[in-house]
């Protein structure tokens, strides 16, 4: 059993009469884009639509994906997997896809439901315009993330992906660049990268394309983590925005716990703590957040 943590709060919570607190971030859980994508799939199921697929997991949450599979909705990894299924309906997830991939998808004759997040669509347009202007597009984000791959797919000109200050070293000085970011990137890291690139490039246009929900979620999580004895961050193991929340919380709360579901908390002892904070990534259902909130409340 892991103790979380050994602090004076264990005694203080019993001596000063203050009740223990479970503080849940208001911004925790589904963001607008994720909710929109999941709703698109659920609406197709409600309509009785058969042969529904998603291009990649609809969200980075294994529990949601498994529930949809039980309802007959399956993820495919490429448009080619739908060849020979002209009656199929395929949902493009909130991360979006590149232009060539979308063209291959529509050429198959399947019904396409585009649930790309509007904030991501905006970056796609910027990527196109940047190429038309003869500028180099710099995407700040994780090169392996599907959202970043999709953005690259809309840029017809030079495109560079950087995920850290160190990775900017490969960009030539005095390059004409336009900077965008993955919508779930860390705002603090983005600012540092932009500052460094501005020193390198005389013509540097920086656009903060981190979505407002991500910024609010990160700021609220950091604020709560700085005031509690332990912080729980919920989210799928492949969720980029969840991992960024973990990093932010760990910087101000040494006792930060990452979990996918309430089952991951079985080895932690919360008895005697004065306060525990909870936040969750953009792909975490409310049901999981409530289960964790109730579980921790019973363990004080």
Give pLDDT, residue 13. 46
For tokens 């904070």, what's the residue? Answer: 277
**Token duo for residue 32:** 């607008």
Considering the chain, tell me which residue range(s) the CATH 3.40.1010.20 domain(s) occupy.
2-29+213-299, 119-210
Catalytic residue among 6, 62, 66, 147: 147
Cβ atoms 116, 146 nearer than 8 A: no
Distance CA 284, CA 263 (A): 15
Q: What is the mean pLDDT of residues 277-290?
A: 96
Convert the pLDDT of each residue in 159-213 to its tens digit: 999 999 999 998 988 889 999 999 999 889 999 999 999 999 889 999 999 999 9
Give pLDDT, residue 175. 84
Q: What angle do CA 30, 236, 141 make, to 5 degrees?
A: 85
Convert the pLDDT of each residue in 95-128 to its tens digit: 999 999 999 999 999 999 999 999 999 999 999 9
Give pLDDT, residue 237. 87
- What's the whole-number average pLDDT of the chain? 92
Give pLDDT, residue 15. 54
Cβ atoms 92, 114 nearer than 8 A: yes
Considering the chain, tell me which residue range(s) the CATH 3.40.50.11270 domain(s) occupy.
32-116
Give pLDDT, residue 11. 47
Distance CA 229, CA 273 (A): 7
Convert the pLDDT of each residue in 54-107 to its tens digit: 999 999 899 999 999 999 999 999 999 999 888 899 999 999 999 999 999 999
Give pLDDT, residue 86. 81
In Å, what is the CA distance from 13 to each residue of 16, 17, 19, 47, 295? Answer: 6, 7, 7, 52, 19
pLDDT of 10 over the 60 cut = no
119-210 is classed CATH 1.10.287.3510 = no
Convert the pLDDT of each residue in 252-267 to its tens digit: 999 999 999 999 999 9
Question: Is residue 132 annotated as part of the catalytic site, yes or no?
Answer: no
- Strands 230-234 and 256-259 turn out to be parallel
2-29+213-299 is classed CATH 3.40.1010.20 = yes
Convert the pLDDT of each residue in 140-150 to its tens digit: 999 999 999 99
Give pLDDT, residue 9. 46
pLDDT of 227 over the 90 cut = yes
Count CB neighbours of 47 within 10 A.
Answer: 10
Contacts for 167 with CB less than 8 Å, ≥ 6 apart: none
90, β-bridge pairs: 53, 112
Q: What is the mean pLDDT of residues 42-63?
A: 94
pLDDT of 5 over the 60 cut = no
Q: Which CATH number fits domain 32-116: 3.40.720.10, 4.10.520.10, 3.30.70.790, 3.40.50.11270?
A: 3.40.50.11270
Give pLDDT, residue 240. 87
Cβ atoms 41, 52 nearer than 8 A: yes
| Strand, coil or helix: 282 | coil
Give pLDDT, residue 272. 82
Confidence of residue 3 (pLDDT cuts 50, 70, 90): low
Distance CA 36, CA 93 (A): 9
Q: What angle do CA 294, 296, 298 make, to 5 degrees?
A: 70
pTM score, whole prediction = 0.86
């Amino acid at each position: 059993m892991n103790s979380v943590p050994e602090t004076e709060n264990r005694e203080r919570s019993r001596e000063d009469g203050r009740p223990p607190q479970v503080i849940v971030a208001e911004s925790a859980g589904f963001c607008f884009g994720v909710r929109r994508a999941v709703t698109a799939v659920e609406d197709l199921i409600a309509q009785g639509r058969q042969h529904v697929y998603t291009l990649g997991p609809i969200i980075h949450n294994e529990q949601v994906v498994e529930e949809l599979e039980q309802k007959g909705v399956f993820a495919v990894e490429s448009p080619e997997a739908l060849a020979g299924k002209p009656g199929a309906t395929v949902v493009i997830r909130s991360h979006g896809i590149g232009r060539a991939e979308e063209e291959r998808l529509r050429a198959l004759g399947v019904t396409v439901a585009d649930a790309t997040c509007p904030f991501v669509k905006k970056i796609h347009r910027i990527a196109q315009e940047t190429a038309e202007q003869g500028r180099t597009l710099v995407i700040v984000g994780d090169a392996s993330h599907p959202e970043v791959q999709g953005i690259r797919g809309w840029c017809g000109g030079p495109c560079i992906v950087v995920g850290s200050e160190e990775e900017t070293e490969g960009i030539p000085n005095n390059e004409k660049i336009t900077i965008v970011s993955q919508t779930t990137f860390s705002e603090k890291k983005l600012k540092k990268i932009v500052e460094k690139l501005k020193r390198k490039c005389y013509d540097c246009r920086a656009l903060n394309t981190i979505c407002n929900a991500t910024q609010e979620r990160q700021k609220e999580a950091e604020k709560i983590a700085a005031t509690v004895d332990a912080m729980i961050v919920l989210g799928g193991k492949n969720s980029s925005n969840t991992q960024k929340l973990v990093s932010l919380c760990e910087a101000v709360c040494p006792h930060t716990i990452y979990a996918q579901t309430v089952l991951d908390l079985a080895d932690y002892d919360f008895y005697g703590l004065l306060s525990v904070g909870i936040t969750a990534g953009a792909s975490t259902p409310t049901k999981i957040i409530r289960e964790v909130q109730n579980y921790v409340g019973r363990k004080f």
